[in-house]
Amino acid sequence: MSHAAAFGAQPRVLADTVPDTRARDIALVVAGALLTALCAQLSFYLPGDPVPVTGQTFAVLLTGAALGANRGAAAQGLYVVLGAIGLPFYADGESGVDVIWGATGGYLIGFIVAAYVVGRLAERHYDRNAFRALPTFAIGSLIVFAFGVPWLAVALDISPAKALDLGFVPFIPGGIVKALAASALLPTAWRLVRR
């Protein structure tokens, strides 16, 4: 039983409904990294765009909200490290430090920050209903782009406007779908846990 449940307090995030042990935290962080790696393989490129459309952001939003700020950020940090050391975890099974220094590296770094922020908001119960969850997940998505787009501009030596055209504008519809899906999934998971 978690500490929250033992004292009658409400769990801060979904992960806190699982018995509280160090092994639990390690397993959840590893699972979050593996979920992101799996979702990275759901990818395709839009014509002429160096940034793939993937399921990674969806995994980032879920891990941040379900695990909380520290574990969510740790899961994304582990994901980035495992891909950097050579595991085929990035989009299309890519790996290596050159991916981080390349066009998509800023998005990868943004995953860590986004998971932390979404996790912090989830700890304040912003993931419990769709009306509060949707803005939370939209903020998380925007954080990823806030890191990814400037990095893309530098990596490709293009203007900020061109980086927005390549690295943000085409991803708006998918970002909305991912935020909507996460904002439906997390409150549903909370309802199931409360039964």
Q: Is 107:99 a contact under the CB 8 Å cutoff?
A: no
Question: Is residue 188 pLDDT above 90, yes or no?
Answer: no
Indicate yes or no: pTM above 0.85: yes
Domains and CATH numbers, the chain: 3-194 (1.10.1760.20)
Give the DSSP letter string of 132-158.
HHHHHHHHHHHHHHHHHHHHHHHHHT-
Q: How confident is the model at residue 3 (pLDDT cuts 50, 70, 90)?
A: very low
Q: Is 138:179 a contact under the CB 8 Å cutoff?
A: yes
Question: What per-residue confidence (pLDDT) applies to 195?
Answer: 64
